[in-house]
Structures are given as structure tokens and as C-alpha cells.
Chains A and B, each alone.
Chain A
Amino acid sequence: MAADVTVISAPQAPPHPLAVFWHDLARNRGALLGLAVVVLIALLAIFADVVAPHAPAEQFRAHVLQPPAWVEGGSWAFPLGTDEVGRDILSRLIYGARYSLFIGISVVAVALVLGISLGFAAAFVGGLVDVMIERLMDLIMSVPSLVLAIVIVAIIGPSLTNTIIAVTIVYLPRYVRIVRAAALSEKAKDYVTAAKTVGVGRWRLMFVTVLPNCVAPIIVQATLGVSDAILEAAALGFLGLGAQPPTPEWGTMLAAAREFLQRAPWVVTWPGLAILVTVVSINLFGDGLRDALDPRLKRS
């Protein structure tokens, strides 16, 4: 009898939401692979001083435009070859990861803060404030992304910081819209009405009651936003309007390498490959996150 009682009185506790999330994510091998590569790139960036064989700006004048190690004329001292002034490409790529990741994360961080503030203002204050914010976002989105970015850079000047500012402005509408939409749909739910009824203040209502329930779409947008920001910043660098040489930013490296396309194709190949691998990995992980966090959006 006693055994029966224990069976009945021990209903299985529901698994922790984080455990469910991890279970869903871990089933997606692509997402895990993406995460692993992103972590690897981040580690390389953090420990660049230890990992990179040479300093990013060190010039080996005797080894100008040396091909990769496995090609005739290459050497393992410069595994991926050297550029037009004899700098080690592998070292520059490793240090360059710092810039790309820094740009991606800074853009998303600033855009998140602004996006949540403006999105919440639009959703909770409503009325004229909502209309003004929406129209402003419409305006930003009416200019093609890269065109707007180059105009902003033309005004404030090309540099790494200004790249971050320009890319943040360009991508801000996405964050504002997602936060506004999520806040509006949560606001209409019973638990928010209940919280209001018991006299919860406006700030507490926004940031303690509603915000945690808007987190899923915001996290997905933030993850995919990192890759968008990296691509956009690299495009600006490529056009000569982003980080300036000799900064080993990947897009800037490509711009300098263009004229050696025929003579030394490896100088062009590696920085682009670094951008592609980083962006693909982040997107793989972001797609997996979306599927795990929001079953309604599941693509397959």
C-alpha cells in the first residue's frame, strides 16, 4: 500500500524551462556547431596575444606577398601567407576577430538598450509618442541600409567608433519594432491586467512584469543582429568608410587586398572567408535559438 501512495503523491516536477530550452537546442546539431565555432572565434580573439604567431602590424620586408605554407614558396612561419607589406595574414585575422566581434556586440548592446526604451515607450505611452517613434523608424527603414550607413559616416567621418554608431542607427528599427510588438501583445494579457489591478507601478510593470516575457524574440533578434552588424561593418570597411588601415578589420583588409587579386589571391581569400565563417556560425546558432525559443516560428 505504502508503495502505491508514494507513486501517486510524487508527480513528476515539470523540467526547468532552461533544461527544456537546452534540450531543444541540443537536438539541433547545426546550432551546436555554430555555437562551437563562435566560441572558438571568441577565444581566439580574447587570447590573440598568446595565439597569434606575430604582432598584427609587424612587417617582414623580406617576405612580402608570400603564399600560404602548403603552396610552393610558402613557409610555416606565415601559415596563411603574408600581405603586401609582409605582415602575417593569420595573425591579422586573429586580431581582426576582436574588431568584428567588438563591433557586432557593441552594435547589438546599444541597439538593445535604445530598442527596449523606444519600443516600450511606444507600447506603453502610446498616442503621439507611439506615432512619432513609428514614423521615425519608417524613415530610417526607407533608406537602403548601406546607403544610410555611408551617409552617416560621410557626416561624422570614417572610424571604428563611427562605424558602430552608423550600423546601430541603421538596424535600430528592427529592435524597436520587435520590442514594441512583443510588449503590445503581452500588455493585453490577463497577468498584466492583474498586476495593474493590484497597483503595480508603471516602471515595475514594464521592466519586472512584462520585459521577462518579451525576452525570447529579443534574444533571437540580438543574436542574428550580431551577424548583420559584422557584415555591414565589413562592407563599410571594404568601401574605405569603416575602420581605417592599418587596423586589421576584415573588411578593411579586403579593401587593401583588392589590387593583388591576380598576383596574390590568398590575400583576398582569407579575410572574406573569416567573415563568412563567423557570420554563418552566428546565423546557424541564431536559427537554432529561434526554433528552440519560439515553437510558433519553427521552420521545419
Chain B
Amino acid sequence: MLTYIGRRLALTIPTIFALMFLTFLAVRLVPGDPVEVRTGERGISPERLAQFRHELGLDQPVWKQFADYVSGLAQGDFGISLVTKEPVLKEFLTLFPATLELAFFATVFAVTFGIPFGVVAALRRGGILDHGLMGVALFGYSMPIFWWGLLLILFFSVQLDLTPVSGRIDLLYYFEPVTGFMTIDALISGQEGAFASALSHLVLPAVVLGTIPLAAIARMTRSSMLEVLEEDYVRTARAKGLPPLRVIGLHALRNAMIPVVTVIGLQGGTLLAGAVLTETIFAWPGVGKWLIESIFRRDYPALQGGVLLISSILVLVNLGVDIVNGVINPRVRHGR
């Protein structure tokens, strides 16, 4: 087991190191002179240019610049935003809870509907319910979520006036962020109606972000369930005369869940990519929207730090999924 974890870790470290190099390189490939971008001056005098280049370390050899960049990262220095003049890490940590909260509720939505959809489809294999549910999953899987978000706003917010269109909570409420999770902070604040308001702001974005994971989970649950239902131990359990619910819930479902848990874990990438679109549509103040704004504001340090942080989180999540997978499924552990 330890060897397996060690091997996975050994693969992760070079990936994160390469990510650092990639983000370092990307910013140097961006069109426009970095000094000009940072100072906003054109036709700058050669002396001032040299001074700026020296201040930014751009007169150093590239390998030295990279070494400085990495040692900065190791000390938590992800650069300074050109727009807000705040440290990039601080901005990221302020915004990340919003993304995490959204991703959490999206996952809850996807799991709550995805697993029952998959189980029912497998039990009614080939029937109308199976075709119907898998049809829904196919549409979910193929959904342009940015359009899906607009449609839901059109229907639930504009036509029915049921849900708010944007933001995390109604402007009526104000409290200092404690955890950064609006639902939790609203509960802590004790203000009446604050929690309900935070929750109602979460519904549509969570549904939009959770749609593709829901479809992936439903499809995986169905195929995994179909496989397990054919196993001898399920037939034995049935032959023993156990009630069908017990056979399905206890004997079949528990084993069918192994690949499903992996699929849920691997939705991290889908959620982070989807967050960029979902947050843009719902004006959700998370890291996805921040990243897009950084591009349009040419705030390259923010973009560089943001991409590195988001990708590192994804790498670590996938590492976690692999390790959990190795723990619950010995075949994975010994397979490689």
C-alpha cells in the first residue's frame, strides 16, 4: 500500500514542477512587453526601462528567473496582481471558498440524482424508464452549460421570478465572512432569512455546474450496476430468498459503487472548467470568473498564479482519488 502511494506521489511531484515551468513560460510568451504592460508607459526612456527590467528581475538569465520564481512560490509568493496590487495568493484564497461551495453543492446535486437514475435504469434495463433516464443523461452529457444556465435564468428567474439571477446572497444581508462559505456564514450570523437567501442563490448555479457530472455518474452507475447484477453472489442472495431491496441495496449497490466513487472524484476537472462558465453567467464571485476577468484586464500575474493554483488543486484531488481507489480496490493497487 505504501509503495503504491509512494509511486503515485513520485508521479505527482514532477507534474507540479512542470506546471510551475509551464505557467512561468506562458507569461513570457504572452504578447506585449512585460514592462510596458506593468507600467502602462509607452516610449519609455532607456534608463527607466533598464531600471524596471532590473526591478522585475528581467535582466537576469532565464534559469535564474525561474529559480527565483520557484523559490518565491515555495514561500507562498505567487506574485502581485497588476490591477488590485494585492498578493495573488490572498485574492485566490478569498475567492476560492465561493468556488468550492458551488462545486460542493453541484456535486451533491449530481450524486443525489445521478446514482438513483443509474440504479433505476439498470433495474429496468431496456424498458421505457431506462431509455428515458439514459436519454436525459445523454442530453446532460452533451449540454452547452453556458446556454443551459441562460435558459434556467430565463425560466426560473425571469418568467417565474423564483430564484435570483446573480451573486451569492441578497444585498439586504451583510456579515463579515468567517469561513468564506456563504451558507455557513449565514447560519453563523444568525440573521433571519440569510441562510435561505444564500441557498436560493446557490440553486441554479449548482444545477448548471452539476449537470454534466450528473450525467457521467448516472451512466457509470448504470453500467456498473448491470455488471454487478450478473454476479454469482447476487444470484445467490436472490436464491436465498432475501428481499429484493436488500439484495439491490446491500449486495449489489455497495459493490457497484466502487467505480462510481472514482467517477465522482474525477469530476474535479469538469467542475473547475465548468466553474469558469457558470460563475461568469451567474456573476458568482469565485476563481473561475476571476480568471476570465484577469485575461481581459491583462492581469498576467493573477492569471499565472490562478492557473497554477487551480491546476495544483486538481492534481492533488486526482492523487487523492487514486489513493482512495487503491485503498478500496486492491486490484488497482496491485495492477500496476
Q: Interface of A with B (CB < 8 Å)?
A: 135, 138-139, 141-147, 150-151, 154-155, 157, 227, 231, 234-235, 238-241, 251, 254, 258, 261-262, 265, 268-269, 271-273, 275-276, 279-280, 283-284, 287, 299-300
Complex CA gap A99/B80 in Å reads 39
Residues in A whose Cβ lies below 8 Å from that of B130: 300
Interface string of B118-148 (1 = CB under 8 A from A): 0000000110001000000011011110111
Determine whether the beta carbon of A239 is less than 8 Å from that of B280: yes
Residues in B whose Cβ lies below 8 Å from that of A139: 15, 18-19, 22
- Given A147-B273, A150-B291, check contact A155 B29 (CB 8 Å): yes
Partner among B142, B146, B222, B276 whose Cβ is within 8 Å of the Cβ of A147: B276
B277 within 8 A of partner (CB): yes
B202 within 8 A of partner (CB): no
Residues in A whose Cβ lies below 8 Å from that of B19: 139, 142-143
- A interface, by DSSP: helix, strand, loop or mixed? helix
B163 within 8 A of partner (CB): no
Determine whether the beta carbon of A142 is less than 8 Å from that of B154: no
Complex CA gap A206/B141 in Å reads 35
Residues in B whose Cβ lies below 8 Å from that of A143: 19, 22, 307, 310-311, 314
Complex CA gap A237/B126 in Å reads 39
Q: How far is the CB of B319 from chain A (nearest CB, A)?
A: 10
B198 within 8 A of partner (CB): no
Determine whether the beta carbon of A280 is less than 8 Å from that of B142: yes
Q: How far is the CB of A134 from chain B (nearest CB, A)?
A: 9
Residues in B whose Cβ lies below 8 Å from that of A300: 125-126, 130, 226
Complex CA gap A271/B144 in Å reads 10
Residues in B whose Cβ lies below 8 Å from that of A265: 154, 158
User: Residue on B with the closest CB to A146?
Assistant: B273
Partner among A135, A231, A254 whose Cβ is within 8 Å of the Cβ of B14: A135
Residues in A whose Cβ lies below 8 Å from that of B153: 261
Other CB < 8 Å A-B pairs besides A142-B318, A150-B291, A272-B144, 4 of them? A143-B307, A280-B138, A283-B142, A284-B138
Partner among B219, B277, B311 whose Cβ is within 8 Å of the Cβ of A142: B311
Determine whether the beta carbon of A138 is less than 8 Å from that of B15: yes
Complex CA gap A110/B209 in Å reads 30
B303 within 8 A of partner (CB): yes
Determine whether the beta carbon of B303 is less than 8 Å from that of A151: yes
B263 within 8 A of partner (CB): no
Partner among B14, B141, B154, B291 whose Cβ is within 8 Å of the Cβ of A283: B141
User: Residue on A with the closest CB to B158?
Assistant: A262
Q: How far is the CB of A66 from chain B (nearest CB, A)?
A: 19
Determine whether the beta carbon of A268 is less than 8 Å from that of B30: no
B26 within 8 A of partner (CB): yes
Residues in B whose Cβ lies below 8 Å from that of A268: 147, 150-151, 154
User: Residue on B with the closest CB to A271?
Assistant: B147
Q: How far is the CB of B143 from chain A (nearest CB, A)?
A: 7
Q: How many residues of B contact A (CB 8 A)?
A: 50
Partner among B125, B144, B314, B315 whose Cβ is within 8 Å of the Cβ of A231: B144
Residues in B whose Cβ lies below 8 Å from that of A284: 138
Determine whether the beta carbon of B139 is less than 8 Å from that of A280: yes
Q: Can you report 17 A-B residue pairs in the complex whose CB atoms are below 8 A from each other?
A: A135-B14, A135-B15, A144-B311, A144-B314, A147-B291, A238-B147, A238-B277, A239-B280, A254-B147, A262-B154, A272-B144, A273-B147, A275-B147, A279-B142, A280-B138, A283-B142, A300-B130
Complex CA gap A147/B311 in Å reads 9
Determine whether the beta carbon of A146 is less than 8 Å from that of B277: yes
B58 within 8 A of partner (CB): no
User: Residue on B with the closest CB to A155?
Assistant: B29
Residues in B whose Cβ lies below 8 Å from that of A273: 147
Q: How far is the CB of B32 from chain A (nearest CB, A)?
A: 11
Q: How far is the CB of A284 from chain B (nearest CB, A)?
A: 7
- Given A147-B273, A283-B141, check contact A142 B315 (CB 8 Å): yes
User: Residue on A with the closest CB to B295?
Assistant: A154
Interface string of B310-332 (1 = CB under 8 A from A): 11001100100000000000000
- Given A144-B273, A144-B310, A147-B310, check contact A254 B295 (CB 8 Å): no
User: Residue on B with the closest CB to A254?
Assistant: B147
Question: A-B pairs with the 9 shortest C-beta distances?
Answer: A272-B147, A146-B273, A144-B273, A279-B142, A144-B272, A280-B142, A143-B311, A275-B144, A238-B146
Partner among A144, A258, A276, A299 whose Cβ is within 8 Å of the Cβ of B139: A276
Q: How far is the CB of B28 from chain A (nearest CB, A)?
A: 10
Determine whether the beta carbon of B292 is less than 8 Å from that of A144: no
Within 8 A of A (CB), among B9-26: 11, 14-15, 18-19, 22, 26
Partner among A150, A155, A261 whose Cβ is within 8 Å of the Cβ of B154: A261
Determine whether the beta carbon of B138 is less than 8 Å from that of A239: no
B269 within 8 A of partner (CB): yes
Determine whether the beta carbon of B314 is less than 8 Å from that of A157: no
Residues in B whose Cβ lies below 8 Å from that of A150: 276, 291-292, 295
